[in-house]
Amino acid sequence: MLLGFTAVFGAALWYFQTQAYYTEVAASEVEIRITRVGGGETHPLAADGLRAIDAETSPLKFRACFTTPASLAMLTETYEIYDAASPLTAPGWFECFDAAAIGRALETGEAIAFMGERDVAEGAHRIIAVFDDGRAYAWHQLTEEYAEQ
């Protein structure tokens, strides 16, 4: 009896954490914006082949994968680098977003993180990581204020 309850509870927990609340978002409904150095002003970032997921249950569930024609040289000169980037894992079925690989690339310098939009949702910034070959990823991350609590 206890084993059966545990199995059902575990299955329900897995479902609600990885399947129930996430929905794919149409590319036409997502605008990737990036913050300029020194002014806080945001500008649209070209995002080709965009795939995104989100959920209404938390501002931290947004993830996106895309490519951008913008070069890292131009991006680093024009837009605000974000040193505290920490990609959050995505559900396994959203295969284009590998938080561990993105995190390693940020640590080694293979990718660079930028401030997408500050306070895109209460307590969350949108962060963008860009690789030299144009692959790019976006996610929402707790603001410094919320992360310290």
Structure confidence by residue, pLDDT tens digits, 107-136: 999 999 999 999 999 999 999 999 999 999
DSSP code string of the chain: -HHHHHHHHHHHHHHHHHTSS-EEE-GGG---EEEBTTT--EEE---EEEEEEE-TT-GGG-EEEEE----HHHHHHHB-B-TT--PPP--TT-TT--HHHHHHHHHHTSEEEEEEEEEEETTEEEEEEEETTSEEEEEEEE-HHHHT-
Residue 17 lies in a domain: no
* Assigned domain for 11 exists: no
Residue 44 covered by a domain: yes
Q: Has residue 12 been placed in a domain? A: no
For 112, the domain range is: 22-147
Overall domain count for the chain:
1
All residue ranges of the chain with pLDDT < 50 are 8, 10-14, 17-19
Do the domain assignments include residue 2?
A: no
> What pLDDT score was predicted for residue 5?
54
103 assigned to some structural domain: yes
Would residue 5 count as lying in a domain? no
Residue 87, domain member (yes or no): yes
